[in-house]
Chain A
C-alpha cells in the first residue's frame, strides 16, 4: 500500500481491504462484462498481448537455452555491436540510439491517445505520424545493423566470431520484433489517416468490417505499440547487455 492511500483513507483496515477484494469478485461474477471499463476491442488487444508475450517469452527462453548449451564461445556483444565513428570503436552506440528512438515513439503515441480523446484530430494524427516515423526509423536502423553484421560475415547458420547460434537467434528474434514494429507502422498510418479525415466523427464504416470505428482505436493501437516497445527492452537486455 502506498503512502498516498494511507493519508487519504486512514481507516483502511483489513475490513475495507476485504470489501474491496469482494468488489473485484463482484465485478467478475456480475453479468454482461467481467472487465467493466474495457470495451471489446480493448479486452481483445490485452488478451492478444498476453498470448504474444508467451510467443516472445518462448523465443527468448529458447535463445537463452541455446546460448547456454552451445559448446563454442558466444561472440562478445560490446565488440560485435560496436560502430566505427571517427576512427574510434564505440560499443552499443547504434543500439542506444535505436532504444532511445523507440522509447521516444512511445511518448508520441501516448500524446496521440490523449489528443484523440480530446477530439483534436490534426494533432492526434500528426503525433501518430511521428510515431510511425520513429517506428520506421527503428526498422531502418535495424536494417542497417543487419547489413553491417552480414558484411562482417554473420549468417543465420554461422559466423566468424563464435557460436553459430548467435546469428540464428539474433536474426530470428530481432527479425520477429522488427516484423511487429513494421505491422505497427502500417496500422498507425491507416489509423492516422482515418483520424485525420474524421472518419470516427462521421461514422464512416470500415472497408472490410463495415463497422463504425471509434477514437478508442487510437488507444488500442497504443497498447500494441507500447507492448512492442516493452518487448524491445527485454530483447535489448538479453542480447546486447548479457
Chain B
C-alpha cells in the first residue's frame, strides 16, 4: 500500500524514532529464564502471581473453616487464624492482583497494543520481575521461620503489629516489611517501563485517543502506583525501624503485659495515613486495568464500538485523580476531625460519578449489540453486575454516619470482596480466556469455560451476598471466635457454615480452569491469528504467538481507533487498526 492511496486526513505521519535494536537471546537461559522479552516476563509475572494466589485461596479456606466450625479443626488456633487472615489479604491485594494486572497483562499487552517491539528498557523490565520474585519468596519464607508469618492483619496497624502478643513478632513482621519494600522497588522498575512505553514508544498513527482502553487503564494504574507506593514504602521503612531499632515513629508510650515499653510519643495515626495513602489508590490500581480490559472484552464480543470512548478515558483519569484524595474514608473510626470526615466523604462519593458513567457506557455498548455469549463475554458481564453490586455498598461505607456502625463488620468484608476481589478476578479470568489464543495459539475449551464461569459467578454471590446480612447483624470481621454474643442470632452460625461449604466448593472448582488452561496448551483447537475477529493491534501480529520483536520487519501503521466494529461499507464487520483506510472513511 502506498501513501498516495491514503486520504489526506488519514495519512500516517513520518516516523520520529528509529527502530530499536533488541537484545537477542542466545541460550535457553536468556530466552526463557533471564529473559528480556516483555511477553516472557509477562508469563513469569502471571505464573508467580497465580501461584501465590492459590496459596492465598487456600488460606481463605482456613479462615472460613474456623468461622464455620470454631475450634473443630485442631491445627487452626488463634495464631494460625490471624496469620491466615493477614497473608490472605496481603497476597491477594499486592502480590496477586497488582502483579498480575500490571506485571502480567501490562507486560504482555502494552507493547503489542501500542505497536512497540518491546518495553522501552527490557533489561530493567527483567530486573523488575526478579525483584518481585524475591519479594514473594521472602514473604512465603515467613512460613518457615520460628513464630511463622505476622498475624497483624493486612493493614499492619501499629502498635499491635510490632508488639510481642501478635503472632510472627520475631521474624514474620520483619519479613513482611522487607518483602513489601522489595516489591515496591521491583514494581517501580516495571511501572516506569509501562508508563514510558505508553507515552513515548507508540507506533505511527497510534495517538493517545486511539489507544485501547485496556492500555489506558493499565497506564493510569501504573501512574497511580508510582505515586501511591511511596506512601507504603515510607510506612514500611519507618515501621521496620520501630521494630528493629526501637525508634518511636508510630509507637506511643505503652505498657504491655505489665511492662513499660521503651517507645515514647509516636503517632499510630500517622501510619494509617501513610498506609491508606497507598491503600486506597491501590483499590483503583487493581480496578482501572479491570475497567480497561472489560471495555475491550465487551466491545469485541458485542461487535460494537465502545460507547463514549473519550468519556471512558476521562473517567479513568478522573477516577485516578480522585482516588488519591479519598484515603481518609478508611479512618472514619480512627478519630478524625468531622470536617475531614466531611471532606473525605464528599470526595469518596464524587468517585461514583465517573464510575457510574463507565457503567452506563458499558451498558450502552451492549444496547442493540450483536452479543456473543463467549466465555470472555460472560466473565465481562459477570464483572459488570458484581461491580455495580460492590459499588452500591460502597455508597453506604463512604458516608461517615452509615459507616460508623458498619465498619469492622462482615459488611465491609462483603463490600470489598465484591468490588475489588471478585470483580477484578472475574476480569482476570475473562482476559485469560480472551487472550489465551494469542499467547499460545490455541483456544481454551468453551464448554469447560462456561461451566467454570457459572460456578465461579454464582458461587461468589452465594458466598458474599449473605455476608452483607451478617455484617448488618453486627457480626465483626477478623474475630477468631464469636463467643456468647447476644446480638448475633444462632442462625448466623448456620449461615456461616453454608458460606464456608460453598467457598470450599468454589475454590476446588477452580481446578476446572487450571485443567482447561493446561490441557488446551496441547489439545486446544488451533486459534489462528485473530479468532475473535478483534480490531485492536495485538491481534494483527504476523505470527501467533507473537515472535521476538512482535512485528516482523516493519512496525504497523495505525489508521483508526481500536473499536471499528460493524463499520458500514467495510468488507467485514470489523476493521483492524492497521488496515488501510477506506475511501471517505472518517474514523476516530
Contact = CB atoms under 8 A, between A and B. Distances in A.
Given A38-B200, A62-B234, A62-B238, 9 more contacts: A29-B208, A29-B209, A31-B205, A51-B230, A62-B270, A62-B274, A157-B247, A157-B262, A163-B265
B200 A31 contact: no
B490 interface: no
A31 B238 contact: no
A168 interface: yes
Nearest to B191: A51
Q: Could you say which of A29, A169, A211 has the most chain B C-beta atoms within 10 Å of its C-beta?
A: A211
B195 interface: yes
Interface in A115-170: 156-158, 163-165, 167-169
Given A62-B270, A168-B249, A34 B200 contact: yes
A186 interface: no
14 contacts: A29-B208, A29-B209, A33-B201, A38-B200, A40-B196, A41-B121, A44-B193, A48-B188, A50-B227, A54-B231, A163-B265, A165-B249, A165-B266, A168-B241
Nearest to B242: A168
Main secondary structure of the interface of A (DSSP, over half): helix
B226 interface: yes
Contacts of B238: 62, 172
Contacts of A72: 264-265
A47 B120 CA distance: 14
A165 B226 contact: no
Contact of A30 (B21, B207, B226, B247): B207
A41 B210 CA distance: 24
Interface in A27-75: 28-36, 38-41, 43-44, 47-48, 50-52, 54-55, 57-59, 62, 65-66, 69-72
B86 interface: no
A8 interface: no
Interface of A: 28-36, 38-41, 43-44, 47-48, 50-52, 54-55, 57-59, 62, 65-66, 69-72, 156-158, 163-165, 167-169, 172, 176, 208-212
A33 B231 contact: no
A31 B202 contact: yes
B192 interface: yes
B207 to A, nearest CB: 5
B484 interface: no
Interface string B243-280: 00111110000000000001011110010001001000
Nearest to A163: B265
Nearest to B253: A71
Interface of B: 13, 15-17, 21, 23, 120-123, 188, 191-193, 195-196, 199-210, 226-227, 229-231, 233-235, 237-238, 241, 245-249, 262, 264-267, 270, 274, 277, 558
A33 B200 contact: yes
Contact of A54 (B15, B200, B201, B230): B230
Contacts of B246: 156-157
B202 A33 contact: yes
Given A51-B227, A51-B230, A55-B233, A168 B202 contact: no
A34 B206 CA distance: 11
Contact of A44 (B17, B120, B227): B120
Nearest to B195: A47
A29 B265 contact: no
B15 A58 contact: no
Contacts of A54: 226-227, 230-231
Contacts of A47: 192, 195-196, 226
A40 B122 CA distance: 12
A40 to B, nearest CB: 4
Given A40-B121, A70-B265, A31 B203 contact: yes
B267 A40 contact: no
B200 A35 contact: yes
A211 B126 CA distance: 15
A208 B23 CA distance: 10
Q: Could you say which of B120, B205, B249, B274 has the most chain A C-beta atoms within 10 Å of its C-beta?
A: B249
B196 A168 contact: no
Contacts of A40: 120-121, 196, 200-201
Contacts of B13: 30-32
B549 to A, nearest CB: 15
A130 B35 CA distance: 38
Nearest to A59: B234
A32 B120 CA distance: 13
